[in-house]
Amino acid sequence: MANHRFIFALFQFVLAVVLIPPLAGAIPASVLRARHLKLPSELRDSYDFIVIGGGTAGLTIADRLSESSQSWSHWQGNASDGSANGFTAHQYNITSKPQTELNNKIVSVNVGFCVGGSSAINGMVAIYFVPPDPTLAADFNITYDIQAAWGQDRDNHLYASYPGGLDPKFKTYYNALKSVPNIEFPRDGHAGSHGVFWYPLSVDPKTHMRSYARIAHWDDQERPNYDLITGCKVNKILLDKHNVATGVQFVFKVDNTIYTVKASKEVILSAGTMHTPQLLQLSGIGPAGLLKKANIAVKVDLPGVGSNFQDHPIGPPVVFNWGQAPPTPPTNSTNMPPSEGQGQGLVAFLNLPVAAPDAYGTIAARYQSLDLARYVAPDTAPAVLAGQRAQQAIFAREMRAKRVSFLNYVVFPSPMIHPINFHITSRGTVHINTTAPEAEPVVDYRALTNPTDIDLMIAYIRFFRRFMASGPLAQYGPVEATPGANVSTDAQLASYIRAGYNPQGWHPVGTAAKMRRELGGVVDDELRVYGVRGLRVADASIIPTLVAATTQLTVYTIAEKIAAMIKETWERPHGHG
């Protein structure tokens, strides 16, 4: 292999730099370790690659690329270099715009602010996304590769395990779900499955500690070609007159001094769903009208940057009391079949024909008939609207499908739910503040602006009511306490949902989507930013529509695949970004 020098920089406001010494001889032990830099003066003037962002994707990319003889610069913007103790201190301080459909509620936006990013503060649920319906996969060119994230051909320090210790009352609900018509029970809940299954957590089975990106892809790295810098904030990506990415400009937070570092090959942007679009816009890449309002020179008019924003919403609780509590099942699970063995938790991924057998056709038809121009954000560009209409056509079809999970029933060992919708139809935005562009971005979930999201939540609540009132659980006399049986009409349920709806489910995606440019896409199939050379995006922002799962394993997969792609590109003769 050629002796390339790759540079990698991460955006959470950490810079990680991987450098290859020019000498092939013996290297002192003190130089073998990856370096954590805290002063800009410790950086080289130029690297081959810069990766911006020190989170789930960024650290993974830096680790994989530094396995080769390449030099990396890794930026973790502004972030703490501490561990994930005390989550508030390790999150960005971002709040949303008032949500007009939620009585102007302002929502906290939870995004990791430390080395390791959101993998350091998430709920540790480790679920692969359900493989998309073949037609959906074709429409969005989605490939499903379960081995990509945690392949068997490499040293890997990420773990998922079933720590055990579950409340035996979970079995009551597991067995009751067997009475739901047409529901599935896959034997392997870690294979991207529909139906009812036990899920693992991102926990090291030996240490019983959180397994996350920092431990797997930064701590104890013996890489003389890997540097990471914290305490710096990237201001923009530098583009030459031909729109080739040549490096980054950043500010050292201690004294607000501005510095630049060059990238001779590529810049990889892994700043996350909130900060990736902001940094693109600060660099002159985004909706031209928005950039002009902020007095930013337009380098590439790319209206999809910051659009298509989605997250998994969490609805208000539905709670029952028992007339007579079900008996507690025995706790011994020895030799229980894999499909019935206790995991860390229990979920049911439900398609609409199972969850709403009498209503799914009506919900789909109503959604399909909507004129989306009435429900999108003001000043939505024609390309972005075209992309949302394409998604509308696809998901109207998927609402009728048996292989697409729409609703997530996270089972508690008690008679209650918090409804979760896997595939929302409302689309939000993440844009720079035009009066203070370098402040935190303006986040607008635009929650419930598409009425179909109300229809889906109502269908979920009605499913749970049927589940409690029929089948094995009915014999225990369940009585609805919240919101109460008197909240029964669609209008009453809609009011209840609006009052307790949380659009922030810790799984934000979509603001730099991998779609065709004419549909509002931002990156191509190789995650290169349209209209720019030498710049790729690799994080959750490239996911075009929400996955039916938690997002962390999907993001690890994105990072693994793009790292392999970059290696292949630059190991070819005359490789270029």
Distance CA 112, CA 54 (A): 10
Containing 387, the helix (H) or strand (E) segment is helix 382-398
Which residues, including other chains, have CB under 8 Å from residue 475's CB and lie 6 or more apart? Answer: none
Torsion sign (Cα): 254, 259, 263, 267? positive
Q: Which residue has the tokens 């969005």?
A: 140
Q: How far is CA 458 from the centre of its chain?
A: 25
Distance CA 172, CA 195 (A): 17
Q: How far is CA 236 from the centre of its chain?
A: 23
Structure tokens at 491: 């209008």
Q: Which of 487, 482, 465, 483 is nearest to 474 (CA)?
A: 465
- 125 carries a ligand binding annotation: yes
Return the exposure string of 380-399: e unless at least 16 CB atoms fall within 10 Å of the residue's CB, then b: bbebbbbbbbbbbebbbbbb
Amino acid at residue number 27: I
Which residues, including other chains, have CB under 8 Å from residue 23's CB and lie 6 or more apart? Answer: none
E strands present in 98-210: 108-109, 195-199
Structure tokens at 338: 């894999």
* 33 and 222 Cβ atoms separated by less than 8 Å: yes
Distance CA 536, CA 526 (A): 8
SS3 480: strand
Q: Which of 76, 39, 58 is nearest to 558 (CA)?
A: 58
E strands present in 94-194: 94-95, 108-109
Q: How far is CA 220 from the centre of its chain?
A: 26
Distance CA 270, CA 522 (A): 14
Instruction: Output the CA–CA distances (angstroms, integers) from residue 435 to 84, 291, 294, 296, in the order listed.
Output: 33, 11, 6, 11
SS3 251: strand
Containing 348, the helix (H) or strand (E) segment is strand 345-350
- 507 carries a ligand binding annotation: yes
* 205 and 359 Cβ atoms separated by less than 8 Å: no
Which residues, including other chains, have CB under 8 Å from residue 304's CB and lie 6 or more apart? Answer: 381, 383, 384, 387, 512, 513, 515, 517, 519, 520, 521, 522
Residues 173, 179, 183: CA angle, nearest 5 degrees: 95
- 570 carries a ligand binding annotation: no
For the annotated binding site, the residues are: 122-125, 234, 506-507
For the annotated binding site for FAD, the residues are: 122-125, 234, 506-507
